[in-house]
Amino acid sequence: MSLMIDCVAKKFERYPALRGVSLEVSKGAFLALLGPSGSGKTTLLRILGGLEFADLGQITFENQDWLSIPARERRAGFVFQHYALFRHMTVASNVAFGLEVRPRRTRPSRAEIRRRVDELLTLVQLEGYGDRYPSRLSGGQRQRVALARALAIEPRLLLLDEPFGALDAKVRKELRVWLRALHNRLGLTSIFVTHDQEEALDMADIVAVMNDGKIEQIGTPDELRHAPATPFVADFLNSGRSQTPDRPRLSVVNL
Amino acid sequence: MSTAAFVYRNPTQESRATRLALTVLAIGFVGLFLLLPLMSVFANALANGISGASAALSNSDTLSSVRLTLIVAAIAVPCNMAFGVAAAWVIAKFDFRGKSILSTLIDIPFSVSPVVSGLVYVLMFGLQGWLGPWLRDHDIRIIFALPGIVLATMFVTFPFVARELVPLMIDQGRDEEEAAVSLGASGFKTFLFVTLPNVKWGLLYGVLLCNARAMGEFGAVSVVSGHIRGLTNTMPLHIEVLYNDYSYAAAFAVASLLAMLALVTLVLKSFLEWRFADEIAATHRH
């Protein structure tokens, strides 16, 4: 197993956000952390990214003590729900940032950086957008810039915090397919936080359903669909399905 | 169906008469209480003609007061810029115990009378003050000298930069800093390339206001300066001295010079806002 999370716990003030979470992720997997808001999924992702600190527990990644490495040395590409693009920089400068801030010894040459930026913008289908400012882009385009920026540092782990949460349904569906294909092509290990059960079951190899700071069940989308381990999992997955337009609720039909 | 004569009106717009009354009131108030006094300053300065005004300005005591004011501002403003940025940064981007206390402390100079601010330094560094005897023994002069004037000015102008930056930085959140760190940037590079560029307009505005106040401060400086002509008189103090000496034209000449500095500050700010309007719009929340 490439990523091992062992009994990680975290409290905010006196309110527990994580109550001892353990999880294993193999290399190249696409894991979804699924749960309602307040279930601790984002906290766990932020701990993996080094943006939050665990009170207890251990995380090992590729045989390294992951928690002892500072955030900026982890090379964990983080994609934020609200993009967090550098608003005063052009798209190209945003993507180049992770390379530009490297110490002189390891920094690629200017020409090399430009080549990499062009390559990444092509990858996220934004060729020719390099000179624009983020404020002139649509939500979907901004999120693709954010992804290109995270990929520029050649991340060992890709962490996505509700990346499609702020987008409309149509764009969300398109990006879902596209992101999954990209993950396969680049051979990344990705962890994806979402509260949308359909999104998690559609995209991920493994889904961890979280509730109240704990993992309720870990399994493949099929396992979760056919054998929910707890009433919470059954209920949570079901509530999502009844909201899809092809299975209208009775109350809607009665209208 | 007859076409009724609908009058389309903006729902938040008042009637013509109300708008006119409000506009007249606002312009009248500004004219009467701000513009007219300012113009009378310039008019009085020129009471003895341009030669009279220029003679008053080339007086050696006047020149030394201008020099002192510029020196004080040149020391106090950069210091407060650094302190203000540091204070705003910790308040907006970090969580720690006592944060709200720090935030309140920054406002003290705004709420305390400038005279009290000056007295604080006299009590600390004056001859009868806590450190007075020690300072005298080591031949260090703070009160009635440049260091005291700089300290008093810094105290009074401390909140300007921080107050301008704190709400701006809080509004911008920590997302971009977190993104920078996750991309491998050190704390310093994050500050330099992400935090600072995002607040540079607010910073500039704060520095301009801080500078205007630093040059114009009267109360606190008056307490610590000692009013030694040609030595510890800043421009505002010198204006008072001239006025009390019945040198009205000279007093108003120096006053118009001070007012001009303020006007230059405002013009500069407006020019920068106009010149970089696009960039300012881009750095606001998208």
Of the candidates B181, B189, B286, the beta carbon closest to that of A87 is on B286
Residue type (1 letter), A156: R
Q: Does A135 touch chain B (CB under 8 A)?
A: yes
Question: Which of B180, B186, B282 faces A87 most closely, judged by CB atoms?
Answer: B282
Percent of chain A having pLDDT more than 70?
94
Q: What is the model's pLDDT at position B4?
A: 56
Look at A45-54, A227-236, B88-97 and tell me which has the smallest mean pLDDT. B88-97
Residue of B nearest to A100 (CA): B185
Is there a contact between A152 and B186 if contact means CB atoms under 8 Å apart? no
Cβ separation A71–B282 shorter than 8 A: no
- pLDDT score at B274: 83
Whether the complex's predicted ipTM is more than 0.90 is answered with no
Could A87 and B283 be called an inter-chain contact, meaning their C-beta atoms sit closer than 8 Å? yes
Q: Is the pLDDT of residue B40 over 80?
A: yes
Beta bridge partners of A157: A76
Give yes or no for residue A252 having a pLDDT over 50. no
What integer pLDDT is reported at residue A254 of this predicted model?
A: 42
Q: Which of A83, A87, A188 is nearest to A146 (CA)?
A: A83
**Residue whose pair of structure tokens reads 């890709």 in the numeric block:** A158
Q: Which residue has the higher pLDDT, B123 or A33?
A: A33
Q: Which residue of B has its CA nearest to A97?
A: B183
Mutate to test the interface with A, among B168, B175, B183 (most CBs of A within 10 A): B183
The answer, yes or no, to whether residue B3 has pLDDT greater than 70, is no
pTM, rounded to two decimals: 0.80
CA separation for the pair A81, A88 (Å, rounded)? 19
B-chain residues within 8 Å CB-CB of A149? Answer: 179, 183
Residue of B nearest to A151 (CA): B183
Cβ of A78 under 8 Å from any chain B Cβ? yes
Answer with the residue of higher pLDDT: A237 or B230: A237
Taking contacts as CB-CB distances below 8 angstroms, the residues of chain A near B197 are 88-89
Q: Is A143 helix (H, G, I), strand (E, B) or coil?
A: helix
- CA distance to partner chain B, nearest, from residue A160 (Å): 12
Q: What is the mean pLDDT of residues A9-35?
A: 92
Q: What is the mean pLDDT of chain A?
A: 89
Nearest to A72 among B186, B194, B279 (CB): B186
Mean pLDDT of B84-90: 92
Chain B environment of A150 (Cβ under 8 Å): 182-183
Closest by alpha carbon to B237, among B223, B253, B248?
B223
* Phi–psi pair at A51, nearest 5 degrees: -90, -10
A98: nearest CA partner in chain B: B183
Question: DSSP string spanning B26-45?
Answer: HHHHHIIIIIHHHHHHHHHH
DSSP strand E in B128-271: where?
A: none
Query: Which of B168, B174, B182 to probe by mutation at the A interface, max A CB count within 10 Å?
Result: B182
Q: Which pLDDT score, from 0 to 100, does residue A243 have?
A: 46
Cross-chain residue pair A135–B281, CB shorter than 8 Å: yes
Q: What is the mean pLDDT of residues A80-100?
A: 94
Q: Which of A55-64, A234-243, B122-131, B241-250 comes out lowest in average pLDDT?
A: A234-243
pLDDT of amino acid B7? 66
pLDDT of residue B286: 41
Cα distance between residue A82 and residue A92, in whole Å: 19
Tokens 């630093």, residue?
B214
Q: What are phi and psi of A193, to 5 degrees?
A: -100, 135
Q: Is A155 on the interface with B (CB under 8 A)?
A: no
